[in-house]
A = this chain, B = another copy of it.
Amino acid sequence: MQRFALIGAGFIGTVHAANLAAHPDVDFRFVFDVDAARSEALASRHGAAAARDLDEAFDPALVEAVFIASSTDTHSGNLRRAADAGIAALVEKPIDLDYARAAELVAHVERSGIPAMVDFNRRFDRDHAELRRIVASGELGDVSIIQMSSRGPVLPPLDYLKVSGGQMRDHTVHFFDLARWLTGLDPVEVSVLGSALADPRVAEIGDVDTSVATLRLPGDGLVQIDSVRATGYGYDERIEVLGSRGLAESGRMRTGNVTTYLGDRVSSEGLHPGWFERVQPTYASALDEFVAALETGSPITATLADGLKAQAIAEAATRSLQSGRTEKITYS
């Protein structure tokens, strides 16, 4: 049984709180949030306590692990605190929006020896994992092209976008990670074209909301990722892996299985209304891997080093958006 503190009681903290409370091997002790009322409310809903302060939440006498789901700018401070306290940490991406600081911190945390995991939850999508199994089995041959889409449905608030680091670091980074995870390879270069189509103010803050990134893998396979912030048909995510011998696809996921035939049209239920509904089950599975690692010593597959590498790709992608060039990706 692992005692946990949860740092952050916002939307995603609320999701994690429910999963922590339901996990048979977790003793959910504390919630900490800068908003004490919010912290109190979430804690009491799940039989946990609101931590008095961060010292209590990170007290190694009281907890074995923290789940860091606080605002992006506090990830690195909280992760460092866990390392220094010798407490295991599961952290939302990004580690730090500044790549150099993130790299320094990852090295520091690795030296500390604490178990640490970045919450790349999409790796725990059941269909994506089956796709990865097929790639690894070799039945598709060598990877030629991977195609990924992540679309919609609603532009995040401008205030969020301003501090998000831009679409590559905030949105596409999940798929940079999936590209590495699916192939076991570190992409070597990247080229991106992007546009602000959903809202002209996105361009004003120097960001894009619609982009196509192309990566080159060692061995010359290519990866194509389109990332779209706003759609009119819900949240659309799919991955396709083309190999020298065949193709496999983790397809669009429908919300239901009922089809109607009326007149000359066939129609059925569409996609999930939002990204959260689509990926919701992955959060519990990601937590499960982390808890199992603490309980049994099984491996953590989404390491901080993975988080850093995905970020390195996002850095080069961001440069490419500005330079109009294919950019080399440098991993520290």
Write the residues of chain A forming the contact surface with B, with a CB cutoff of 8 angstroms. Answer: 126-127, 130-131, 134, 139-142, 144-145, 147, 149, 151, 189, 191, 193-198, 210-212, 214, 216, 220-222, 224, 226, 228, 230-234, 236, 242-271, 273, 324-326
Contact = CB atoms under 8 A, between A and B. Distances in A.
Contacts of A151: 242
A264 B273 contact: yes
Assembly stoichiometry (copies)? 4
A144 B248 contact: no
Nearest to A240: B149
Contacts of A196: 220
**Which of A220, A221, A230 is packed against the most chain B CB atoms within 10 Å?**
A220
A236 B264 CA distance: 11
Contacts of A147: 147, 149, 226
A212 B263 CA distance: 23
Given A142-B197, A263-B232, A264-B273, A248 B242 contact: no
A127 B258 contact: yes
A220 B195 CA distance: 6
A259 B251 contact: yes
A197 B194 CA distance: 27
Contact of A267 (B220, B251, B266): B266
Contact of A262 (B130, B139, B269): B139
A325 to B, nearest CB: 5
